[in-house]
Amino acid sequence: MKLEDRQEFFRRLQAIDPNPTTELEYQSTFELLIAVILSAQATDVSVNLATRRLYKKANTPKAILDLGEDGLKDYIKTIGLFNSKARNVIATCKILLEKHAGVVPSDRAELESLPGVGRKTANVILNTAFGQPTMAVDTHIFRVANRTGLALGKTPLIIERKLLKSIPQPFLLDAHHWLILHGRYTCKARTPNCPECIVRDLCRTGKQKGF
């Protein structure tokens, strides 16, 4: 996609959503971290339903640690992979208390050292909580990048690196959220809503379909 098309692509997404953010519900960086860990292979809706209950009871590393693994499972058992996620969350809370005084670190390496936190999760935290221009490539961004022609690649890391280079700087901070939302509600996996897509004339697939 040419530079002028990339600029117009994000100008249009910005126009309809000037201040995009995650659909996960949180009130602190710690709450966001736990929500993102829980969201792996789960919907934001299911995570929000669980954390609304959980955070009323425990929303700090110590409070969740005091619940214990079994106690935590009672709150997150409606989420996929809840057994392994409970182990990871408890282990993460221990590390946060022992090594970081209960504060979520803003360093990538320290984030990725936490159980249940990989590159994608770290990128979400760095972008959403700490305002760093990172790109957390989930299934939506991976699909949108390849389908539109913004970035072509066979792995999330390749797509991440290409997007960071190709997205015009003024849009880079919020691009992660725009692309996820576009993939979630318009450029859907099985039935993309091309007729109502506001960037269809800039998209390589849209052009192939004659938009």
Question: So which residues are the catalytic ones?
Answer: 120, 138
Residue 8 host element (H or E): helix 3-16
Say if residues 100 and 62 touch (Cβ distance below 8 Å). no
Q: Report residue 48 as tokens.
A: 């929000």
DSSP string, 51-85: HHHHHHH--SHHHHHHHHHHHHHHHHTTSTTHHHH
Radius of gyration of the chain (CA): 18
Task: Of 90, 108, 88, give the one whose Cα is nearest residue 41.
Answer: 88
From CA 67, how far away is CA 200, in angstroms rounded? 49
